[in-house]
Amino acid sequence: FLYWQFEVNRMNKVILVTGANSGIGLALCERLLSVDTEGLQLCLACRNMRRAEAAHSALLTSHPKAQVALLQVDTSSISSVISAAQEVKKRYDRLDYLYLNAGIMPNPRFDVNAFFKGLFSRNVITMFATGEGILTQQDGVTPDGLQEVFMTNLFGHFLFVRELEPMLCRAGRTSQLVWTSSSNAHRSAFSLEDIQHKKGTQPYSSSKYASDLLSLTLNTHYNKQGLYSSVICPGFVMTNLTYNILPSFPAFLWTLFTPIFWLIRMFTNTFTLTPYNGAEVLFWLFKQKPESLDPYAKYHSLTSGLGNNYTQPRKMDIDLETSESLYEKLLQLEREVRKKLKDEQKESPP
């Protein structure tokens, strides 16, 4: 009977991954299906459906019996997030894992001056490992009037979680949120007075630091209801996002850099490089009891110089007071956007 019960529980697990059509998100899906092809219901929540369909067929080619579904969501759009959440509620009766992985770093600029300065400073390893001080971006504004990076990386996901709350908080069972953060999340880039980072040049770092803070406060508010949240850093991984950092470099030039990256990996285990390695911690978290995780830790994918993957928790530079204040501000913004949406619907009913 116990075996049967275990099988039933295992069969029903629903896992939703945002940004699952490429990079680290897709590598996670591949890794999950490699250990459990038939017992999981995987939902790839993607913006670009052409790429999503390609990812879907690739996964089904290697795992023909897998249960893989597609869901359209643009995390930079309020209406898209809300209708995607409604669709999830219609399709599934449970949601066990929600990987909040979609993310952008638009128009990144590599600050060559800061790079060469850093190269001869004591900060060189940190600079390579976290990109601190050498990456700036040019943010845009979404049609909803919010900063694009904030909306895509953080607030769209926050709304998604809020919409899915009844599914995620179920008596007698636990659910897990996993935020793909970054070691580029720096307190110095974040301000409670400007949570959308309208005024600065590091919206990416700000949004990732905000996800670290938010995860902590979500644990405070939701653990009692069975919902747990953690943040991860995949390390430095070669994906569309990182290829974009030096736009004037053709992709093949990156390949020429590979031996240099391998060399750097001898000194810093954060150079995970491949999406498979980067997804290590996401996969590891899937196997953990959420109650055993430290809400103040960021879990890192690491790869040794010899290419061995492992996970390590590292204390985050966050505090409960700031995270509570951010939570209040996000709830306030949520009230505002919902009111605006209602008013718009009143003005032009569907």
In the chain, helix, strand, coil percent, each to 5? Answer: 50, 15, 35
Residue 196 or residue 239: which is nearer to ligand NAP going by CB? 239
Paired tokens of 201:
């040049």
Paired tokens of 143:
């049609």
How far is 101 from 54, CA to CA, in rounded Å? 18
How far is 50 from 47, CA to CA, in rounded Å? 9
Q: What are phi and psi of 82, to 5 degrees?
A: -65, -40
Instruction: Determine if 162 is a binding residue for ligand NAP (CB under 6 A).
Output: no
Paired tokens of 274:
């491949």
Which of these ranges, 223-231, 232-240, 259-267, 337-345, lies near ligand NAP under the rule CB under 6 A? 232-240
Concerning whether 243 is annotated as a catalytic residue, the answer is no
- Bridge pairing between strands 227-233 and 67-72: unpaired
Which of these ranges, 43-51, 114-122, 157-165, 325-333, lies near ligand NAP under the rule CB under 6 A? 43-51
Residue 142 or residue 175: which is nearer to ligand NAP going by CB? 142
Q: How far is the CB of 60 from ligand NAP (least distance, A)?
A: 18
Instruction: Determine if 241 is a binding residue for ligand NAP (CB under 6 A).
Output: yes
Instruction: Determine if 277 is a binding residue for ligand NAP (CB under 6 A).
Output: no
The contact mask relative to ligand NAP for 288-327 (x = CB under 6 A, - = no) is ----------------------------------------
C-alpha closest to that of 278 among 68, 26, 3, 14: 26
Residue 47 or residue 265: which is nearer to ligand NAP going by CB? 47
Paired tokens of 177:
């949120």
Residue 246 or residue 320: which is nearer to ligand NAP going by CB? 246
How far is 196 from 320, CA to CA, in rounded Å? 20
Active site residues: 204
Which residues contact ligand NAP (rule: CB under 6 A)? 18-19, 21-25, 46-48, 51, 73-76, 101-104, 152, 180, 182, 233-234, 236-237, 239-242
